[in-house]
Amino acid sequence: MQTAKLGFGARLVMALILPWQVLFNGALAERVRRAIAGEADELPPPAPTPAVADDNDEVTPIPAPVEVVEAAVVEDEAAGPDLTAALQLLALLQREGRFVDFLQENVAEFTDADIGAAARVVHEGCKRGLAEYVRFERIRTEAEGDAVTLPAGFDPARHRLTGNVVGEPPFRGILAHAGWRVAAIALPTLAEGHDASIVAPAEVEL
């Protein structure tokens, strides 16, 4: 059966949203890791085969499937992941570096010099805001451009292979990006009743 492919627009939206969901949803992160590793999701056990009995044999009744667990799973999936932390980060980046304003602006009207000056302000503000609540660590300690070897059993969630990927590990290549992981995160506690979806309130000057 041919695998369906997402269009560019759908892939773009997924590329923007998925990293936040992976960061704050452990179950989803494990599913993404298994997908990258090419591991199949665990399938439920097959339904028991009904017993065929002779005229003189007694047929053992097959227990009915337990639907309570299945219903709980459906309810959990319908609720969706808790996006509060992701919304907090967006609000933080907006407050400190005008991140959302910059992304929503039509930069086609501006010169490269204007865009560069704005990007510098956004970069400084976002970096300052994140440094207060999030600590990042490099995944690889080598310098970018150094030769590296990935042995058999390497973690595909921490390493992404690019270029001419053929054969089996160990893989030898050049480190194009050292990678980042979140080593610690401590977001402030939201006040009761606060709407986390408001990442930037409207400003009214009197």
Maximum distance among all Cα pairs of the chain, rounded to whole angstroms = 92
pLDDT band at residue 75 using 50, 70 and 90 as cut-offs: very low
Residue 203 lies inside a defined structural domain of this protein: no
Residue 169 lies inside a defined structural domain of this protein: yes
What sections of the chain are H helices per DSSP?
Answer: 8-24, 26-37, 67-79, 84-97, 99-104, 112-133
Residue 160 lies inside a defined structural domain of this protein: yes
Alpha carbon separation from 23 to 27, 28, 185 (Å, rounded): 10, 9, 11
Query: What number is the average pLDDT over the span 30-51?
Result: 65
Residue 115 lies inside a defined structural domain of this protein: no
Lowest mean per-residue pLDDT among 79-88, 108-117, 143-152, 167-176: 79-88
CB within 8 Å of 53: residues ≥ 6 apart: 59
Residue 155 lies inside a defined structural domain of this protein: yes
Residue 164 lies inside a defined structural domain of this protein: yes
Partner residues linked to 182 by β-bridges: 136
More confident residue, 4 or 69: 4
- Domain coverage including residue 167: 140-178
Residue 110 lies inside a defined structural domain of this protein: no
Residue 167 lies inside a defined structural domain of this protein: yes
**Structural domain count of the chain:** 1
10 Å Cβ neighbour count for 94? Answer: 19
C-alpha to C-alpha distance for 88 and 84, rounded to whole angstroms: 6
Q: Which of 6-10, 15-19, 116-120, 192-196 has the highest mean pLDDT?
A: 116-120
